[in-house]
């Protein structure tokens, strides 16, 4: 990111490795819709000459003198979120928010990201995980952010066995929300979206009903299908601020609305996100709004890897566009911006 609205290639020095850190070379990279918010919507404010990217698998090139469990040559999963595990927020149980809101998100936010020939990982023993033998790069690169965020959407939604869940937005994040809801025991799952490629994967991941928000009102369609009852949990994974109206209106009293969408557009505090007064039960109908930034760190990545290794979910169908070579990154990022209808997620494989 050269500045808001402009991307390009730049030369930078190799980052320095602290005693507990690692320097990693990429094996697989994926652009995120959040990178699009960062560059083209200025979501985190102006950044000059910042390296983008926070979704990577890599190969360790160097470790600091105090790193115990990783050595040069190890193939690793690099979480999008790399918290300071000894910080006050982490000790309170919110490691993604270390050092202030969204502070655990360092790559392509507070420091250079992973779209580089070498990148720096803080606290290597706590923030890297070994890439399991046999896991494909296309599948593995979905763990750092897509699975971690989508599954958190389902975890935060407090889904009980047999619960009815609506997932608003079925890009890669919402698709992982669907997979997470199924693993968490949901009975009926409404997938709200229109892209044909995503609908196909939504069904594979457990969606029982497909709702198009373009061909009718989302709330009416789901209320009709549930005899007017609405749903036990909503996972919000797409749309602008107005999507919260649908989310709250379609939720039953006693439900959880779990937002994982990043409302990146807007102009600071002047923009508001609406809540429907009546639909929200006048603010007192036990409709709980949960929010969260992707969980990071080693244990999270190891557990997500277990889900994939043991066949509970296969992330690879989300990799609809696979590029070979570091120099294809720009193309992949632009694809994430343009979102053609056959796209779910572009992936770039880097030979090392
Ligand atoms: P995406 O753009 O591929 O998918 C979102 C989809 O929602 C799009 O297809 C869009 O057309 C659709 N949509 C728009 N309005 C809608 C509506 N009213 N109802 C239903 N769907 C609607 O994006 P993605 O890559 O899946 O990411 C989703 C969001 O999650 C982005 O905002 C991204 O920045 C954010 N994100 C958050 C975290 C986190 O830590 N919480 C992590 C990664 C990404
Ligand atoms: Zn992301």
CA of 262 to the centre of ligand 1 (A): 7
Residues with CB under 6 A from ligand 1: 32-34, 37, 145, 149, 168-169, 171-174, 192-193, 195, 213, 218, 237-239, 243, 260-262, 293-294, 339
CA of 35 to the centre of ligand 2 (A): 7
CA of 351 to the centre of ligand 1 (A): 30
The residues placing their C-beta within 5 Å of ligand 2, an ion, are 32, 34, 145
CA of 278 to the centre of ligand 2 (A): 33
Residue nearest to atom 24 of ligand 1 (CA): 171
CA of 285 to the centre of ligand 2 (A): 32
Ligand 1: nearest atom to the Cα of 192: 20
Sorted by where each starts, the structural domains of the chain and their CATH numbers stand as: 22-142+315-349 (3.90.180.10), 147-291 (3.40.50.720)
* pTM higher than the cut 0.85: yes
**Residue position matching structure tokens 């997500």:** 304
Residue-by-residue pLDDT tens, the chain, 352 positions: 999 999 999 999 999 999 999 999 999 999 999 999 999 999 999 999 999 999 999 999 999 999 999 999 999 999 999 999 999 999 999 999 999 999 999 999 999 999 999 999 999 999 999 999 999 999 999 999 999 999 999 999 999 999 999 999 999 999 999 999 999 999 999 999 999 999 999 999 999 999 999 999 999 999 999 999 999 999 999 999 999 999 999 999 999 999 999 998 877 778 899 999 999 999 999 999 999 999 999 999 999 999 999 999 999 999 999 999 999 999 999 999 999 999 999 999 999 8
User: Which ligand is closest to the CA of 346, given by its number?
Assistant: 1
């Amino acid at each position: 990111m050269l500045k808001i609205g402009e991307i390009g290639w730049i030369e930078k020095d190799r980052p320095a490795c602290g005693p507990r850190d690692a320097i990693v070379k990429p094996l697989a990279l994926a652009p995120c819709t959040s990178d699009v918010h960062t560059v083209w919507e200025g979501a985190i404010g102006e950044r000059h000459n910042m390296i983008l990217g926070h979704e990577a698998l890599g190969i360790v090139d160097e470790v600091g003198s105090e790193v115990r469990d990783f050595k040069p040559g190890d193939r690793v999963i690099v979480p999008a979120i790399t918290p300071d595990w000894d910080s006050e927020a982490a000790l309170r149980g919110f490691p993604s928010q270390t050092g202030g809101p969204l502070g655990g998100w360092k790559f392509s936010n507070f420091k250079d990201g992973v779209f580089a020939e070498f990148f720096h990982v803080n606290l290597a023993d706590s923030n890297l995980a070994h890439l399991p033998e046999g896991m494909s790069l296309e599948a593995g690169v979905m763990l750092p952010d897509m699975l971690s965020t989508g599954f958190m959407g389902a975890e935060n939604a407090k889904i009980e066995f047999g619960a009815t869940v609506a997932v608003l937005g079925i890009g890669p994040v919402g698709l992982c929300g669907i997979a997470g809801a199924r693993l968490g025991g949901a009975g009926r799952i409404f997938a709200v979206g229109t892209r044909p490629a995503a609908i196909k994967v939504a069904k594979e991941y457990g969606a029982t009903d497909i709702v198009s928000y373009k061909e009718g009102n989302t709330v009416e369609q789901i209320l009709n299908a549930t005899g007017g009852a609405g749903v036990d949990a909503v996972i919000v994974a797409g749309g602008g601020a107005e999507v919260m109206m649908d989310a709250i209106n379609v939720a039953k009293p006693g439900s959880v609305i779990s937002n994982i969408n990043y409302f990146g557009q807007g102009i600071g505090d002047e923009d508001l996100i609406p809540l429907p007064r009546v639909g929200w039960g006048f603010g007192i109908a036990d409709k709980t709004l949960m929010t969260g930034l992707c969980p990071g760190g080693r244990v999270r990545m190891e557990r997500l890897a277990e889900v994939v290794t043991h066949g509970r979910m296969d992330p690879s169908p989300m990799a609809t566009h696979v590029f070979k070579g570091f120099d294809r990154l720009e193309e992949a990022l632009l694809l994430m911006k343009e979102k053609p209808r056959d796209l779910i997620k572009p992936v770039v494989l880097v030979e090392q």
